[in-house]
Chain A
């Protein structure tokens, strides 16, 4: 069955420090992978996505993610975190078929210390 696991429920980093959020997926074929961010009271916003090609993908707000097939991972990174990055982050995999269905992980809450 398709699934997404985000091992870290809550992460705290200092402003200016680097960030890595982990995501592991289970999918039999080539996965379509996404990272979304959800700020309080806001809808989910797409940060980046991976379908094929270069395994390092760039997104908005200075985020990037690396797809590693051997590890079934799609970790999100940012070299220097800003206070405004405090939010909840969701990794998702597209379901099989051309349905657009997304299967989300449970999310990681990022807290940024001044």
Chain B
């Protein structure tokens, strides 16, 4: 079984440019998470999807970040315009459902560097 797939793995952009990250979750996983991991820190949740609905986006900086999950499968996270402070690893995870003890499966992440 394939794991969570993310692309690109690395991205270097100049500030004020747009950038997008793509995630393909494990087949059959209805719940999808985007996390941001700053250097030397643990991941922090940005947004959670149940199927195609964003049910928790309270931590998403909505002035510049947007996300979508069309047809409840793949998801895209976008930043426009990027700022220096957005440099981080963006992780996608998926799970069967939103249960409190449910296991989340993480992708390898996209490392974003904003110059």
Contact = CB atoms under 8 A, between A and B. Distances in A.
Interface of A: 4, 9, 32, 36, 41-46, 49, 51, 90, 92, 94-95, 97-102, 104-107
A23 to B, nearest CB: 11
Contact of B102 (A43, A45, A100, A105): A100
Q: Which 5 A-B pairs have the closest CB atoms?
A: A104-B42, A43-B106, A44-B106, A100-B98, A43-B108
Interface residues of B, number: 30
Contacts of B91: 43-44
20 contacts: A4-B42, A9-B40, A32-B101, A36-B106, A41-B9, A43-B4, A43-B107, A43-B108, A45-B106, A90-B43, A94-B100, A94-B101, A98-B98, A98-B99, A99-B56, A100-B33, A100-B48, A101-B45, A105-B42, A106-B42
B48 A99 contact: yes
B26 to A, nearest CB: 12
Nearest to B59: A101
A35 to B, nearest CB: 12
A44 B98 CA distance: 18
B47 to A, nearest CB: 11
- Dominant SS among interface residues on chain B: loop
Nearest to A36: B106
B24 interface: no
A101 B101 CA distance: 10
A98 B3 CA distance: 24
A46 B9 CA distance: 21
Interface in B56-76: 56
Given A94-B101, A100-B102, A101-B45, A41 B40 contact: no
